[in-house]
Amino acid sequence: MKLLIVDDNNKMRSIIRNVLVDNFDSIYEVNDGDQAMEAFETLYPDWVIMDIKMERIDGITATENIKREYPQARIIILTNLADQELKAAALNAGADKYVLKDNLLELRSIIAAATL
């Protein structure tokens, strides 16, 4: 399986990679929503872990764009923002789940449950 991690924080990408390394054959990283859209088109990852707040294109917009072109894409929003309006916007954009960064182990559970 392939994973695409989208976060503008290098350290956070590394932490996510370390949490999920045993679940994936290949892990790719980009730091912005526009790069996520380009990477998805070439890599076709099985999962995308997407931050919300990024400089050029935010994670909600990138999620919406990816899901419009690739409705089968599985995207988990991973953020520090425990905001119900953002959560609703992310899910409306097509995100499969909305997970807070202080609960990274939940990512493993979500991915494991979906691959059974």
Q: What is the CATH number of the domain that holds 62?
A: 3.40.50.2300
Give pTM, 2 decimals.
Answer: 0.95
**CB 1 within 8 Å of CB 22:** no
Query: For 31-42, what is each residue's pLDDT tens digit?
Result: 999 999 999 999
pLDDT higher than 70, residue 116: no
- Chain centre distance of CA 75: 5
**CB 66 within 8 Å of CB 34:** no
Residue 55: pLDDT band with limits 50, 70, 90:
confident
Rounded-to-integer distance, Cα 88 and Cα 84, Å: 6
Q: Given this model, what pLDDT does residue 71 score? A: 97
pLDDT higher than 90, residue 114: no
| Mean pLDDT, rounded, of the chain | 95
Rounded-to-integer distance, Cα 36 and Cα 15, Å: 18
The 10 Å Cβ neighbour count of residue 28 is 18
Percentage of residues of the chain with pLDDT beyond 70? 99
Rounded-to-integer distance, Cα 74 and Cα 40, Å: 11
**CB 81 within 8 Å of CB 59:** no
Query: For 69-88, what is each residue's pLDDT tens digit?
Result: 999 999 999 999 999 999 99
Q: Given this model, what pLDDT does residue 115 score? A: 74
Average pLDDT over residues 44-54: 96
Give the count of domains, the chain.
1
Domain that holds residue 68: 2-114
